[in-house]
Amino acid sequence: MSLKTKQIIALVDEDFEDLELWGPVMRLREEGANVILTGKEKGKTYYGKYGVPAEAEANFSDINPQDFDGILVPGGWAPDKLRRFDEVIHMVQHMEENKKIIGQICHAGWVLVSANILEGKKVTSTPGIKDDMKNAGAIWSDEEVVVDGNIVSSRRPPDIPAYCKELVKAFMNN
C-alpha cells in the first residue's frame, strides 16, 4: 500500500456527484490512504445527485488542515454549497499555501474560485464553469486531467480513471 501514511480530507454536502466523490475516495483508500469524509455535520448522511449516500466522519470544525496531506473536492451541486463555509475555504487555502494536494473535478472548481487560489494556475473543469475559472485568473484547458503543481483537476465522470491515476501519483510524490 503506497499511500498508507497519507491523511486526506474528502468534502461532502448534498448533491455531490456520486462517481466524482466515491471513485477517487475508493481509489485512494485502495492505495492505503486514510480518507475522511467531512461535512458540516458529523454523522449526517449526505446524498449524491443519484442517491448514493456518504456519511460524514468528521465535521468541518473537527478538521485541522495541518494534520492532512490533501483535500478532495467532488463535483455535482455540492461545490456551490461547500464554497459558502469559511472552514472549507480555510482548508483549501491552507492546502494551497502549504503546497499540499488539492483534487478537484467538474464543478469543484467553484470552491477553488471562492478560495481565490487560481491566479495563474493551469486547470480544467466542466466546461460549464470555464468562464468562472478564467475570471478567477486560471488558465483553463479542455483536457481530461491537468496537474499544475499541487492542484490536480479533471472535467467529469468519464475522466475519473485518468484523474485517479494522477491523484495517486501526486500523493505519492508529495
Catalytic residue among 90, 94, 107, 164: 107
Cα–Cα distance between 82 and 123 in angstroms, integer? 19
Q: Which three cell numbers stand for residue 68?
A: 492532512
State the first-to-last Cα distance of the chain, in angstroms, to the nearest integer: 16
**Catalytic residue list contains 164:** no
Cα–Cα distance between 165 and 174 in angstroms, integer? 14
Looking at residue 114, the DSSP 8-state letter turns out to be H
Helix residue ranges, H only, the chain: 18-30, 78-82, 86-97, 109-115, 130-135, 160-173
Catalytic residue among 90, 94, 106, 164: 106
Cβ pair 110, 135 in contact under 8 A: no
Cα–Cα distance between 11 and 1 in angstroms, integer? 23
**Catalytic residue list contains 106:** yes
Active-site annotation, residues: 106-107
